Structure 1
């Protein structure tokens, strides 16, 4: 997910574990160099990993949330990536220092009687602690997990320990995931959580189209395809704390204009995916162009992500 950035509340961790967990996937264990306690997190959370090379990437936490002294993430080698995953696989060694931003959670597990989890490839990572939490609470749940080959299903052997609640479906044996068949298990009180590549998310959204609103929650590793902005003319942003008013031209982002005005807005992905640059909106109507908020959150118009979102109204008032 991302590039050179500014990250909030960073600290230094050490790589204390590195092991393959599937073809093309390594798991990293990270800990405080002095053995200190790490910030608490909840299922669905991710961190900003700041590599020694200066690159910053976001990864879902997939370890034991009750372990206060280490974090675990899993990294897929991206063949056509920008170099972050290749660096982690090939060059990042045990004992090396990395920076940490976060954790933050744009994909929280909400209380429900039962859950249907759907994962594609490395999309299993944010779902692992959700499954552990659902199981701990005694909720009814099932997982449908697909990948190209059985050997590419990260943590497949661990998941098999849950028995028939887990449906491992490598594509070379089963073909594409049978989403309608799996979703036949839906009943009132069920939440559906999905993470994976864009084609899977689109197929799940289509399969869930007839279910009640808020049933489905997804997380994307890449930004959604955007249509044009709601307006192509400049608009104003008022910084409520300083009473400063700045103009956002049609060819500049809100984030860049705020930074030029001296506003301390932290950022990471610049694609509307990670949620780092969230700002509170006090008045006006944002033009939401992120891949984080759901329809209800967008309608509330109480926040926006400065890297990609714009304005539908002539002026926005923000809490800066």
Structure 2
């Protein structure tokens, strides 16, 4: 369903979001081939390198924009990318009809971006995936005022409030040390891009514990290093109890020597028999609400959270008296 405001239209489109003004179509994280119409001038902006947001980078029928870090991370996993325009934080791209698109830091992973779209009708902020916590590999998401906010709602329920990051780190370090002291091999299952590098950097900074990473993690860690982040690690499969292993979350082990931890915001809800590590590169519910209060929108659309789109929209309306709906 589209949302209309005079010549401005905002709609869910091709797995992403379409902001339409006159015949200018600004596509935000499209995940399916668009199919270009002669009557519409499309510009595609990709927020970051996670696969559920970056498939549109390979659509050569579009003018595509992304940060250099996002382009590099996507190429590192073998994604075919040609003719993409690189944009950096602080850049503003002028489009027809006085439209400007500003690139902002989203605080999610290396190179993640928000897009602030200024049109003659209204200013729209698309957050993409974002986080408001300063980490070892990211700065917090930038706060800019807008008329309309399109907000990710991955953790858009009051059930998703993460513990303080410092406590999570200390608890995790204690678990690693205890596992090693018991002669076991601590293994952290997590996202291979973002969470893995942040945890690697944290362990390097706060401990002398050796870090081993899976090769699928390392291909992204190399890009972090190219952009100035010092990560100390060895590429190896779990084998000996002299350090901690960071591996993809879809890798499972049945060797009794392994102690498995699960690092994700979803660890608040389930971890099976794994040690729960409630940690995420997404904003939790409390941070989402605080961020929306900071950008002061008159209208909010929630997006990319499945069932939590509707829950977050309801909470925003009830708590802030701001009109909000799932997109």
Same fold (TM over 0.5): no
Q: Quickly name the TM-score band, shorter chain normalised.
A: 0.3 to 0.5
Quick check: which one's helix share is greater? 2
Q: Return the TM-score normalized by structure 1.
A: 0.35
Q: Return the TM-score normalized by structure 2.
A: 0.35
